[in-house]
Structure 1
Amino acid sequence: MILMETLKVIRVPIPSPTLKPYTTTNCYLIGNKQECILVDAGYDQKETKIELVRAIKENELATPASIILTHSHQDHAPGVRQLKEWNPVVFCHSFERQEVLASISPLREIKFLNDTEIIKVAGEEVIILHAPGHTSGQLNLYLPSQQVLIAGDNIVAQGTSWIGPPDGDMSDYLQTLQRLKQLTLKKIGPGHGDWVLKPYEHIEFVINRRLDRENQIKSLLKEHKDLTSDQLSEMIYKENVHPKVYNVAKRTTEAHLIKLMREGAVRLQNSAYSLRS
């Protein structure tokens, strides 16, 4: 009888031209000597494969036979091209089929994972969560035996992730965060930055940040009556974020406005937003 070795979950920060303050994107190796999967593949550059091969050797892991992409963004998916010699099976959520295919082209073979689907890695269960918010098809992975969540860009180690159109949805995001809070967690593997070792505090921080921003938008609309999304974004972010982040900060404002309109709290007329009386 061959005993299965203990499952390892290894965070591998890959250099990538991602958004400030980050300079790396996290990939995760999950497995042991016999079997391993990779979660996210980083940016399409040679450093991706170099760092992953180094981590595989250092931690005595099998070469991953599967790659699960949390989402299709350019700092998470296109690195698959660097790993084609592994002949991996690439998985994502069906909602991001076209975006993932565009990100990993010319590779064309992908398969899909659904909410609550369970896969086995090195003899242990990994639960797939469809966790929309940052993107419509965002996948998260939960390892109950380790009480670990791999969160993609739903969680980042410092600050909060941006949420915005066309592929992000603030209502979905807040619902996802509430769902993640219900898991039994020791730590979270974020899309960027170090392990999050106070998972519930961090999730609550993100929820409160988003709700505070929503209240700020309503307060500004109450004070100024009518404001465009550009005007709101300048008031909220212009002096508070790095210029390279301003565009996605503006999209986050737009996501809040879409949520508030959907809820009937805000209306749009002639490109300006106002509170409903």
Structure 2
Amino acid sequence: MPIPFVKDIDFEYGKAQSVSPLVRRLIARNPGPFTYTGTGVYIIGEGDVAVIDPGPVLDEHEAALDAALEGERVSAVLVTHHHLDHSPLAHPLARKHGAPVYGRAAPERHNPLSGDQPVTEEGADAAFTPDIELQDGQTISGPGWTLEAIATPGHTSNHVCFGFAEEAACFTGDHVMGWSTSVVVPPDGNMNAYLESLQRIRAREFETLWPTHGPPITRPDRFLRAYIGHRLQREKQIRDQVAQGRTTPEDIVPKLYSGVDKRLWPAAAMSVKAHLERLKENGEI
């Protein structure tokens, strides 16, 4: 089954738009091959609010977020993971409102095959440390809203999604994106963990998924079945390449990703490496 990607998104940079009864979204002007139209910052509730993934430190974006929150109190700043398009503005925003930052600390290891240089455009916020280290199942609440931390390692080891009880929704960060598949970058990313985390979100039967990049996914079960199926099909292709004597990402990527923008090949190499590690972990190669 092909992935039923969702790519159409109606937005205006610098403007917080209501996307559901209790949710507003403000998109940062940091578009790119890994961020789509940019980082979507979610504001939950009214008056006393939570902010999920405040995004990058850009003057225009920070000013727009301050304007969107004028007259309101941020009681919680939540971060799905430590990449530069998600977490850097978390502490500056929290300090303005006297709010704690919730999340999981950046791991010590970030980079795979390419030395000290990040292999994805987003890069890592290696110094990210939350004020409150989230535990799986922990809830954060305010007037009219409740958010539940759901540990979803895979894209990164510290990735967390946030279930939103009042709207049967989930804020999925980079774990699930409607416009694209997610990158899994070893050694911090792990394909076994990623596939297990996808199944975990699917089992919750949310009605809507809100990724940090791109539009919402309104048929999550159908989408996630295809998302998981795509990964397993790609893994079969990689297994076949190994059987033909191609055993490194550098050998495999040009064969399997010939029609993909070459700017994405370094990220594709990381996902291939993650699949190779999973096959090895599972005793298949």
Instruction: Give 1:69's aligned residue.
Output: 79
3-state SS of 1:16 partner: coil
- 1:37 equivalent in structure 2: 50
Q: Deviations over 1:117-145 (max 9, x none)?
A: 12212243321111111000101100122
Alignment of 1:83-102 (within 5 A): 83=93, 84-94=95-105, 96=106
Could you state the TM-score of these two structures normalised by the residue count of structure 1? 0.82
**Counterpart of 2:58 in structure 1: which amino acid?**
Q
Verify the 8 A CA contact 1:64 1:88 in the aligned structure 2.
yes
Higher RCO (CA-CA < 8 Å; seq separation 6+): 2
- For the 8 Å contact 1:93–1:130, the answer to whether it is kept is no
Unmatched 5+ stretches in structure 1: 1-5, 267-277
Q: 1:150 to 1:92 in 2, by over 3 A?
A: same
What's the RMSD between the two structures over aligned residues? Answer: 2.5
The equivalent residue for 1:221 is 242
Q: Which has the higher helix share?
A: 1
| Alignment equivalent of 2:63, drawn from 50, 68, 84 | 50
What per-residue deviation string (whole Å, max 9, x for no partner) do you get for residues 13-64 of structure 1?
212254347130111111212x11111111121122133234335xxx7231
Taking the aligned partners of 1:221 and 1:87, their CA distance within structure 2 comes to: 53
Q: State the one-letter code of the partner of 1:227.
A: T
Deviations 1:45-102 (A, max 9, x none): 1122133234335xxx7231321110000111112355243343111124x36689x8
Mark the structure with the bigger radius of gyration: 1
1:11 aligns with 2:31: no
**Aligned equivalents of 2:52 and 2:269: distance in 1?**
29
**TM-score normalized by the length of structure 2:** 0.80
| Distance in 2, Cα, partners of 1:82 & 1:112 | 18
Change (3 A) 1:251 1:10: same
Letter paired with 1:72: H
Decide whether aligned partners of structure 1 residues 122 and 99 sit closer, same or farther in structure 2, where only a CA change above 3 A counts.
farther
Query: Would you say the 8 A contact 1:81–1:104 is kept in 2?
Result: no
Contact persistence 2:107–2:157 (CA under 8 A): no
Tell me which of 172, 181, 185 is aligned to 2:206.
185
Q: One-letter code of the match for 1:176? A: S
Match status 1:212 vs 2:233: yes
Give me the whole-angstrom Cα distance separating, in 1, the residues matched to 2:35 and 2:42.
20
CA distance in 2, matches of 1:68, 1:90: 6
Amino acid at match of 1:248: A
For these two proteins, the number of residue pairs brought into alignment is: 252
* Identity between Structure 1 and Structure 2 (%): 26
Report the CA distance shift for 1:179/1:13 in structure 2 as closer, same or farther (over 3 A): same
Q: 1:255 aligns with which of 260, 274, 278?
A: 274
- Taking the aligned partners of 2:59 and 2:22, their CA distance within structure 1 comes to 25
Residue 5 of structure 2 corresponds to: none
Could you tell me whether the CA contact under 8 Å between 2:24 and 2:42 is conserved in 1? yes
Gaps of 5+ in 2: 1-19, 111-123
- CA gap of 1:141–1:109, structure 2 versus 1, over 3 A, is closer
Secondary structure of 1:255's counterpart equals: helix
In 1, Cα distance between the equivalents of 2:212 and 2:78? 13
CA distance in 2, matches of 1:10, 1:177: 25
Aligned to 1:25: 39
CA separation of 1:25/1:99 partners in 2, compared to 1, >3 Å: closer, same or farther?
A: farther
Q: 1:230 aligns with which of 250, 254, 270?
A: 250
State the alpha-carbon separation in 2 of the partners of residues 51 and 68 from structure 1: 18
